[in-house]
Chain A
């Protein structure tokens, strides 16, 4: 039973380019969460999605960041016109039921470096 998959594992972009991060949830899970982790800090919640719906994007920056979880394929976190401050590890997690207190299982993360 494959766990949460993320790709790429490492991504290098120059300032002003776009970054696309992908997340495939565990088999049978249809709820995906994205988090950002800066060095030496805890994870910060960004967005929660179900298939074809954004449920909660309260942690997402208002500009340059967007997320989707289409009916087919992985969830994608997109960062337009990246800046150095976007350098971080981006983790996604998935959960099975969408009920309160649902256990979240994390992927290995994508480490984004902006030059």
Chain B
């Protein structure tokens, strides 16, 4: 499948500030974009996802935006807390419609919340 470019690779913010992670992709077929959070030595956990029929989705302090024309999507975390420290991965599904398929992962952003 096509790659997903994710940046920054490391992001350090002060507790209480906002964090933004951005991803871009190149294919036109992808229509499902989940974000996963992975703490050290743990499994990836889904934190929010968005499908191509919407441009924005919010869940408490977490929001995701999608610009399908420009082929980029972003994760926004507001009022960051120490427990937000982890590696965050943007992902996309390989094919549109039809059956399920494997996810393509970005390389990850290591988010560090400074006290």
Chain A bound to chain B: yes
Contact of A100 with B101 at beta-carbon distance under 8 Å, contacts A41-B108, A42-B107, A43-B89 already known: yes
Give complex CA distance A108, B97 in Å: 29
Residue of B nearest to A55 (CB): B99
Give complex CA distance A91, B108 in Å: 16
Is A44 part of the binding interface, using a Cβ–Cβ cutoff of 8 Å? yes
**One of B42-50, B64-72, B77-85 at the interface:** B42-50
**A91 and B102: CB pair below 8 A?**
no
Give complex CA distance A109, B106 in Å: 19
Q: Mark A46-82, 1 if CB is under 8 A from B, else 0.
A: 1110000001101100000000000000000000000
Give complex CA distance A47, B1 in Å: 13
Interface residues on B, range: 20 to 34
Distance in Å from the Cβ of A31 to the closest Cβ of chain B? 6
Give complex CA distance A106, B37 in Å: 11
**A45 and B99: CB pair below 8 A?**
no
Residues of B participating in the A interface, judged by any CB pair closer than 8 Å: 1, 6, 31-32, 34, 36, 42-46, 49, 51, 89, 93-108
Residues of A participating in the B interface, judged by any CB pair closer than 8 Å: 4, 31, 33, 35, 41-48, 55-56, 58-59, 91, 95, 97-109
